[in-house]
Amino acid sequence: MQIGPYKLSSPILVAPMAGVTDRPFRTLCLRMGAGMAVSEMMSSNPKVWQTEKSLRRMDHAGETGIRSVQIAGADPMLMAEAAQFNVDQGAQIIDINMGCPAKKVNKKMAGSALLQYPQLVQEIVTAVVNAVSVPVTLKIRTGWEPEHRNGVQIARIAEDCGIQALAVHGRTRACMYKGEAEYDTIRAIKQAVSIPIIANGDIDSPQKARFVLDDTGADAIMIGRAAQGRPWIFREIRHYLEQGTLPLPLHKDLERAMIREHVEALHAFYGEVLGVRIARKHVGWYLKDSDAGRDFRSDFNALDEAEQQLDSLAHYFANIA
């Protein structure tokens, strides 16, 4: 798939997830076969741009992939300024968030709340596209609520205003993450516009990835929650799409080495105090399906030093080998 001048190495993207798609996680997913990893959502409020959290989210040092940065807000002028600021910081693609269903985002009339106001959608998209020279993409849901699925209308607005690729999560805002994703609206959007469409929602296996691509006609897929604790899902899907067969499972030694490497990268990126805290949730995701990991996770979460975490992981893996 092509976004402006950028040719993706595979049609599998990492969804932007607050508190998850930081530089260590993006780097790992790209190495595992993702074609692009969109960074965590950045606020359009300039008052927070110089905070430690925002500066860390803008850190792309050493990244080899396409640098796509997602911005969120409801004011067209502020969104345009945020786009310009992030391009100055190294963003190669700007992604606009109109898909987040979180209450703290929606109460500011940002994220998927914007889908209620097509005119404001048009104003924001136009302002951002006109503000930067890099490609601008958009992420939406199928609508605000099941009774008002206006994804096709929003997609046509996006295309008319210069959006170069559109990601669609197969749920309305009201659905949050409940129930099963519906792909009918994504198929209708694909048929209604000519820009690349990226299907998102409940894609958790190579077979499901193939089904969604075939069912919707989408140009690419986007993986979010299914990659938490399983970054090698991109390797599995890419192999299946290219070869038509499932790859051999990742060797357990490689899987464990990857987990340790991820934890070490979190420590280095965030510093020991914050890195230790953030490592806890990732290790929890990695071991969530392991019966042996249940008691270990409780003990691991009580550790407050980086070296203790690494030693604990080494001991755990040695015992289950």
Q: How confident is the model at residue 109 (pLDDT cuts 50, 70, 90)?
A: low
DSSP state of 247: P
> 284: annotated binding-site residue?
no
The pTM for the full model equals: 0.95
What is the per-residue pLDDT for 83?
A: 97
pLDDT of residue 284: 95
Per-residue model confidence (pLDDT) at position 170: 97
Per-residue pLDDT, 107: 67
Every domain of the chain and the residues it spans: 2-243, 252-319
Q: Please indicate if the annotation marks 258 as binding a ligand.
A: no
Q: Is the dihedral of CA 61, 233, 143, 133 positive or negative?
A: positive
Note the pLDDT tens digit of each residue in 117-139.
999 999 999 999 999 999 999 99
Can you list the positions of beta strands (E) in 56-185? 67-72, 93-98, 136-141, 165-169
Lowest-confidence pick of 61-70, 93-102, 167-176, 184-193: 61-70
- What mean pLDDT value characterizes the chain? 94
Q: Is residue 108 over pLDDT 80?
A: no
CATH topology of domain 2-243: TIM Barrel (3.20.20)
Residue with tokens 């959007």: 189
145-161 pLDDT tens trace: 989 999 999 999 999 99
In the structure encoding, which two tokens stand for residue 312, read together? 């604990």
Separation of alpha carbons 3 and 11, rounded Å: 11
Q: Contact 283/297 with Cβ under 8 angstroms? A: yes
Q: Which pLDDT tens digit goes with each residue over 12-47?
A: 999 999 999 999 999 999 999 999 999 999 999 888
Instruction: Find the DSSP H helices in 193-292.
Output: 206-216, 233-243, 252-270, 272-286
Predicted confidence at residue 270, as pLDDT, reads: 96
Tell me if 60 is assigned to a ligand binding site. no
| Residue 321 confidence class, pLDDT cut points 50, 70, 90 | confident
> What pLDDT does 77 receive?
97
Show the tokens assigned to 36: 């692009």
Distance CA 69, CA 64 (A): 14
Tell me what the mean pLDDT of segment 203-222 comes to: 98
DSSP assignment, residue 178? -
Whether residue 62 is annotated as binding a ligand: the answer is no
Q: Whole-angstrom Cα distance, residue 208 to residue 56?
A: 34
For residues 138 and 158, the answer to whether their CB atoms sit within 8 Å is yes
* Residue bearing the bigger pLDDT, 110 or 30: 30
Q: Which helix (H) or strand (E) holds 13?
A: strand 12-14
Is 33 annotated in a binding site? The answer is no
Question: What pLDDT, on a 0 to 100 scale, did the predictor assign at position 57?
Answer: 80
Query: Which residues belong to the active site?
Result: 100
Say if residue 24 carries a ligand binding annotation. no
Residue 264 has a pLDDT of 98
> What is the per-residue pLDDT across 46-91, written as a single tens digit (0 to 9) for each?
888 888 888 788 777 778 889 999 999 999 999 999 999 999 999 9
Cα–Cα distance for residue pair 156/228, rounded to 1 Å:
32
- Quick check: 235 and 250 in contact, CB under 8 A? yes
Residues 143 and 99 sit within 8 Å (Cβ to Cβ): no
